[in-house]
Structure 1
Amino acid sequence: MAAETAGSVIIGDDGLARPAWAASDPLLREYYDQEWGLPVTDEHGLYERICLEGFQAGLSWATILRKRPAFRTAFEGFNPDAVALFTAADVERLLQDPGIVRNRMKILATIKNARATVALRKEGGLVDFVWQFRPVATPRPVVHTDIPTQSEESVALSKALRKKGFSFVGPTTMFALMEAIGMVDTHLLDSHRRGSSGVWQEPAR
């Protein structure tokens, strides 16, 4: 439970400063503290994140996090080689799965993205492809409204992924991905996680 506010962040009962979205829900708090914003540099993990960000479109991230174990079961642990082989019968099966988001277009996109991920291996792989769009600078937000919803790099990444056959990879979704995997650091400046990714060196304050 949040104890008090300190400007742009909320001080938790553990004395640590977090943004409001990560301050109360235990699941979001754990995700923020242990996962969000840390570099994801393996194909498997990056494919999963792209797909989950796509499923999140129009929904809350808390909803996706709660369903993540079911998503992992439904999509063979987000193994792109396995998902690339899914058939129309698999799509119909997944549409009956109450544990996941039963959206046909998003399910089809997850399969399509698996095939595109496998195909990208001939060009160096998904990880190098995505990380080449890392910007030269990262935002330094004081309050949540300082954080952009997309950037020049997320627009370019979106276009590039679409050309490679990916779906549900719009500029806003890709900026959320870039935040989640440490390509940009949008932790608020007073957050206890600011600068924790190791990707960005925080200037002296």
Structure 2
Amino acid sequence: MASGNFFPKLLVRLLSSSSPKMSATKISPTLDTVGYQVATVGAGCFWGVEHIYRKHFGNGKGLIDARVGYSGGTTTNPSYKQVCTSGTGHAEALQITFDPSLVTYDTLIDFFFRMHDPTQLNRQGPDQGTQYRSVIFTHDDEQQKVAEEVKERMQKTFYKDPIVTKIEPIEAFWDAETYHQLYLHKNPTGYECPSHYVRTKPQL
């Protein structure tokens, strides 16, 4: 069973699900008209994932925008309440719009493997369930190739335990409810998964 701050956090998030939902979006294009690209990842509670990516890649370092949402499931336009049952198959995900002239996809994925524990199956810290799984949703063949290369590299050089991260083509990304967007920016003392920090030393 989950322990610590999990149940208070879950209660807060369930109460928040009554907030108006953002318009759902289908697959974002890998490359848009101004040259930006899109990356989509799942690494546990999306509040912390968004917060740590914005902290490290915002302010002119390549991150143009980031939105939390749901991907990898079967239900159309799922709600948070539905996703948290693990019954829709979705993962909590972060979709990043980035400028490849400032930060590469390889760099974003390398960071992904350092900012959470990719050896934990269907959980991250005290948060348990398939919605918290470690996953990379790729937008084209090149992203698939890069993600697989980075995963292999990190397995050989950084992690002793097997990396369980799944890498799969994205089918759809649905925006999460308004309340979840920029959550830790709006609630600085809110819950942040204790597993979300940048690992600087190999876990060998």
TM-score bracket relative to the smaller structure: under 0.3
With the length of structure 1 as denominator, give the TM-score of the two structures.
0.27
With the length of structure 2 as denominator, give the TM-score of the two structures.
0.27
Greater share of helix: 1
